[in-house]
Amino acid sequence: MKKIKGPGIFLAQFMGDDEPFNNIRSISKWASSIGYTGVQIPTWDPRAIDLEKAAESKTYCDEYAGMLKEAGVQAVDLGSYLQGQVLAFHPAYAEGFSVFHPAGLKGDDVTRWGEDQLKKSVQAAVNLGIKNISVMSGGFLWHMIYPWPQRPEGVVDEAFSELAKRWKPILSFAEEHGVTFGYELHPGSDLYDGATFEMFLDKVDESPAACITYDPSHFVLQQLDYLHFIQLYGDRITAFHVKDAEFNPDGRVGVYGGYQPWVGRAGRFRSLGDGQVDFKRIITLLIEADYEGWAILEWECCIKSSDQGAREGAPFIADLLIDQTETAFDDFAGGTADKNTNRRLLGLD
């Protein structure tokens, strides 16, 4: 019976320096103890995985998978967000993104490091039996998001051409290995909505490895129709972040947030069930789009604690997931079908 899998949990926001959050074995046991059966692994965090070993050694990955199974979970997705983001960015962001890559790297060395990391993520995914790697695209245009001053003719096309140039060899490498990259459409990246994703797809020749990690919370914050999005791009969705959000504008702040802390913004992320996202409708649309991947909690909330958010998240997701029907509700009233009967019903004989 077909069913979206879960509950899964993205470990990035929970990793820390204290037990049980400071190593993959103990944090996996913690996740299992509160109801999660799958984990999304942040590949940049050495407490979560040794990406170099995972890319090189099937033995390491087999032992890693065995350790997770013993803890009560399995690895369901890799998160290589930071490596994707530094593959391409405007120099104005170099200082801010410097914590995303090894110290001392600059310019093209950062790009080469990002490409190497993403290809190693593909190799690690193969060794772990994982089909999708969630990423951010990086980009060059975020400082031009609002066209004032007017954007020069051709600058958007040039930016997407360069972005595609950097991603194409990585996407080809992923396709060769049967792995997809799920772009989380995210502010700060040039891929942040459906239109920008389409522009990128065109530049990378509709690569089958260029897919989507669907996160409705980012769409709530930019007031995009997150339900219609599934109907438009469902065939490209390869991962699903179950993350809630709310948008409550007033006379002071709107979409742009007014440089306020998260608590003071109109759009803010919330723990599951505390925001405005219609998850039941999302599940229906994902099923209609034949999505068979995982439902993965990503916790980001400016009000509720991470511990409470995680504990409430597992049963919330479990209650969302349904066994997809294999029969029609009115089959009991149907009769046998054959061509002659059908023609008689149509008055043709």
pLDDT category at 328 given cuts 50, 70, 90 is confident
pLDDT of residue 213: 98
Which token pair is 74? 């399995």
For residue 118, pLDDT over 90 is answered with: yes
Q: How far apart are CA 47 and CA 295, in angstroms?
A: 23
> For 50-58, what is the mean pLDDT?
98
Amino acid at 120: K
> pLDDT digit string (tens) for 264-290?
999 999 999 999 999 999 999 999 999
> pLDDT digit string (tens) for 333-344?
677 778 988 888
The pTM (predicted TM-score) of the whole model is 0.95
For residue 294, the enclosing domain spans 5-345
pLDDT of residue 332: 67
Give the other-Cβ count within 10 Å of 172's Cβ: 14
Q: 225: which DSSP letter? A: -
Q: How many domains does the chain have?
A: 1
pLDDT-above-90 percentage for the chain = 92
> For 127-136, what is the mean pLDDT?
98
Residue ranges of E strands in 125-274: 132-135, 180-183, 210-214, 237-242, 244-247, 267-270
Q: 10: which DSSP letter? A: E
- Contact, 163 vs 200, CB < 8 A? yes
pLDDT category at 247 given cuts 50, 70, 90 is very high
pLDDT of residue 1: 59
Q: How far apart are CA 234 and CA 291, in angstroms?
A: 8
Q: CA angle 176-178-180, nearest 5°? A: 105
Q: Is 134 helix (H, G, I), strand (E, B) or coil?
A: strand
β-strand partners of 42: 79
pLDDT-above-70 percentage for the chain = 99
Average pLDDT, the chain: 96
Amino acid at 279: F
pLDDT category at 241 given cuts 50, 70, 90 is very high
- Contact, 223 vs 248, CB < 8 A? no
pLDDT category at 8 given cuts 50, 70, 90 is very high
> pLDDT digit string (tens) for 9-32?
999 999 999 999 999 999 999 999
The secondary structure of 291-321, three-state, reads: CCCEEEECCCCCCCCHHHHHHHHHHHHHHHC
CATH number for the domain including 167? 3.20.20.150
> pLDDT digit string (tens) for 185-198?
999 999 999 999 99
pLDDT category at 202 given cuts 50, 70, 90 is very high
pLDDT category at 2 given cuts 50, 70, 90 is confident
> pLDDT digit string (tens) for 154-176?
999 999 999 999 999 999 999 99
